[in-house]
Copies of this chain bind each other. A is one copy, B any other.
Amino acid sequence: MENEFNFKVYVAEKAISVNKALDEAIIVKDPPMIHEAMRYSLLAGGKRVRPMLCIAACDLVGGNQGNAMAAACAIEMIHTMSLIHDDLPCMDDDDLRRGKPTNHKVYGEDVAVLAGDALLAFAFEYLATATIEVSPSRILVAVAELAKSVGTEGLVAGQVADLACTGNPNVGLEMLEFIHIHKTAALLEASVVIGAILGGGADEEVDKLRRFARCIGLLFQVVDDILDVTKSSEELGKTAGKDLAVDKTTYPKLLGLEKAKEFAAELNGEAKQQLAAFDSHKAAPLIALADYIAYRQN
């Protein structure tokens, strides 16, 4: 059985590589506080799901970890930026994130806004300058893909719609999906697609992986919503039941808890279908990552 894919070992190894790369990507230099604020949230022990998806997609199409590592870090910088800004008092006003005080609670609102801005900009600098052994034209496509996942076709659109819907009890499934596709799925999709591009994937491989990513993107949010109503704050490392408290529309609220769980299982199956054409041995990490997203407990 020694050839069987061991997901726990895979995740542990990749998390160590990604954390080391992130730690080296942003070092503390003048002015120290802003770098400390950036590192505080970036190195706060995220699960590194997006970087792993990026690296796994790159591997699957024949690239190596070096081709994808700078992009994997850039994606995590973008993700961290969105968390810092979403937690601000003028947005979701959250005090707790990954079990620790949020960035603005530690460094103040002004520095938190700027730490997010700096992470956003540095993500593009790092992707453009630290990517190894990939043609400039492929890196440029990756820059565009990453940028698109942030703006008004990505994270920002989702957060805007989310803020507009908070406190509105009449939000329907269509709007809920708009929010989730933009707020969560866009960056997950970009993670996979960028990995495939930097790994040298052919157009049809990139397309298949984009469809895979769309399924797990939505899956991720459905599971997040389920966990929000079924887990305590301590288990989640963030304020649980918050969506319910502020009357946010969620999948369990709209569909009921059981139907929401069924929907998650369907999305997971659909995601795996997209990988059927690839070598099953090489696809094992992405299949396992989809299962991990579906069955995670926090």
Contacts and interface: CB of A to CB of B under 8 A. Distances in A.
A51 interface: no
Contacts of A117: 81, 85, 116-117, 120, 150-151, 155-156
A161 B35 CA distance: 12
Please report whether the interface of chain A is mostly helix, strand, loop or mixed according to DSSP: helix
A212 to B, nearest CB: 23
A163 B31 CA distance: 12
Interface in A194-224: none
Interface string A143-165: 11011101110111101110110
22 contacts: A31-B152, A31-B164, A33-B160, A34-B152, A34-B156, A35-B152, A38-B152, A88-B110, A90-B108, A90-B110, A91-B110, A114-B160, A117-B155, A118-B156, A120-B120, A122-B152, A124-B146, A128-B143, A128-B147, A136-B139, A139-B140, A140-B143
A34 B152 CA distance: 7
Q: Which of A81, A88, A121, A155 has the most CB of B within 10 A?
A: A121
Copy total for this chain: 2
A118 B182 CA distance: 13
A110 B160 CA distance: 8
A109 interface: yes
Contact of A34 (B29, B110, B157): B157
Contacts of A34: 152, 156-157, 160
B136 A121 contact: no
A160 to B, nearest CB: 5
A124 B120 CA distance: 10
A136 B128 contact: no
A137 B108 CA distance: 39
A92 to B, nearest CB: 9
A235 interface: no
Interface residues of A, number: 51
Interface in A55-103: 81, 85, 88, 90-91
Contacts of A137: 136
A129 interface: yes
A155 B159 CA distance: 25
A111 interface: yes
Interface in A24-39: 29-31, 33-35, 38
A270 interface: no
A116 B90 CA distance: 14
A31 B157 CA distance: 7
A133 interface: no
